[in-house]
């Protein structure tokens, strides 16, 4: 819970002081996130793995290790019914992308992907996943 509060504060502060992203960057980032979700739906883990930064790929070491981690800790990303980008915030040398996910059981999740631009491509540096808080049917 403390990590979620810290991440919220970081995102709020970044929205107050950061310059808006360029439209081409927003489109490229949304495309990368879309490719990630589509690749999991299509069973193409190698494509999903390739969307990560080099440092992240080195941390996992292999596509097999990556897939095992995704299945164990990020199941709503791996198997989902719907996913929608709801916010992008410039955070220091990365962009935080908030994605609302509905899993195969109808539960709602919020994922925050930290994206970095490397060699002209927007790639995934890390991801934080938490159940979405619901108040009066509004996702917060």
Task: Report d(CA 83, CA 19) in Å as an integer.
Answer: 26
Task: Report d(CA 105, CA 102) in Å as an integer.
Answer: 8
SS3 label, residue 118: strand
Q: Specify the pLDDT at position 8.
A: 47
What's the whole-number mean pLDDT along residues 54-67? 97
Please state which CATH class domain 2-139 belongs to.
alpha beta
SS3 label, residue 19: coil
Domain spans, the chain: 2-139
Q: For the segment 115-138, what is each residue's pLDDT rounded down to a tens digit?
A: 999 888 999 999 999 999 754 455
Q: For the segment 8-57, what is each residue's pLDDT rounded down to a tens digit?
A: 444 444 444 456 788 999 999 999 999 999 999 999 999 999 999 999 99
pTM beyond 0.85? no
Q: Specify the pLDDT at position 19.
A: 61
Q: Report which secondary-structure segment, H or E, holds 63.
A: helix 63-73
Q: Specify the pLDDT at position 138.
A: 53
Q: For the segment 69-102, what is each residue's pLDDT rounded down to a tens digit?
A: 999 999 999 999 999 999 999 988 899 999 999 9
b/e string for 64-84 if b means 16 or more Cβ within 10 A? Answer: eebbeebeeebebbbebeebe
């Amino acid at each position: 819970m403390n990590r979620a509060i810290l991440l919220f504060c970081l995102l709020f502060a970044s929205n107050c002081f950061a310059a808006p992203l360029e439209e081409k960057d927003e489109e490229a980032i949304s495309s990368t996130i879309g490719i990630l979700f589509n690749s999991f739906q299509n069973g193409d883990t190698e494509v999903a793995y390739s969307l990560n930064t080099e440092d992240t790929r080195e941390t996992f070491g292999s596509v097999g290790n990556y897939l095992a981690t995704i299945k164990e800790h990020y199941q709503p990303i791996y198997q989902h019914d719907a996913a929608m980008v709801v916010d992008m915030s410039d955070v220091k040398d990365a962009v935080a992308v908030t994605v609302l996910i509905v899993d195969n059981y109808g539960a709602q999740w919020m994922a925050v992907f930290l994206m970095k631009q490397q060699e002209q491509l927007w790639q995934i540096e890390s991801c934080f996943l938490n159940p979405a808080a619901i108040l009066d049917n509004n996702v917060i």
